[in-house]
């Protein structure tokens, strides 16, 4: 366990990913897979939005005082997600069948009520050609 992790971090992450999947399902998307892992990285949610395959990165910030959770998906993280998505597409055989996009879903808690707030950025970035 790294110094930045704490007990229960994985459980919290899984719980937040379930909330994220439910939120996106209410937006009309269909969940295909959670936590796809390969040696190049992990994709939190893989969903389908009509005829588009969507790779979703879920980010959580306890507080927005240091910026929005979505802003933490820098170019390094994007590249890692793109590479993991390419592995998924090769394994699934879907590369030529569906267009793809990457969404980022930031989750935070309302300071007053504690309710979850969602900041969804559809098509935050795409696969390189």
- pLDDT tens, residue by residue, 61-107: 765 556 677 777 888 999 999 999 999 999 987 767 788 999 999 99
CA dihedral (48, 123, 18, 26) in degrees, to 10, reads -70
Go through the domains of the chain in sequence order and give each one's CATH number.
9-125 (3.40.1350.10)
What predicted TM-score, i.e. pTM, was given to this entire model?
0.86
pLDDT top residue among 57 and 112? 57
Q: 49 pLDDT band (50/70/90 cuts)?
A: very high
Residues paired with 102 in a beta bridge: 55, 125
Is 80 exceeded by the pLDDT of residue 119? yes
Residues paired with 107 in a beta bridge: 60, 118
Is 80 exceeded by the pLDDT of residue 51? yes
- Strand order across the 100-109 sheet: 30-38, 41-49, 52-61, 100-109, 116-125
């Amino acid at each position: 366990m790294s110094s930045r992790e704490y007990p229960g971090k994985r459980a919290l992450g899984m719980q937040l990913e379930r909330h994220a999947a439910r939120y996106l399902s209410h937006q009309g998307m269909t969940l295909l897979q959670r936590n796809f892992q390969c040696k190049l990285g992990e994709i939190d949610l893989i969903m389908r939005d009509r005829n588009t395959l969507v790779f979703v990165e879920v980010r959580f910030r306890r507080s927005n005082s240091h910026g929005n959770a979505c802003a933490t998906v820098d170019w390094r993280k994007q590249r890692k997600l793109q590479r993991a998505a390419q592995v998924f597409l090769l394994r699934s055989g879907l590369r030529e069948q569906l267009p793809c996009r990457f969404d980022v879903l930031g989750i935070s808690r309302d300071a007053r009520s504690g309710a979850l707030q969602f900041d969804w950025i559809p098509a935050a970035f795409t696969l390189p050609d």
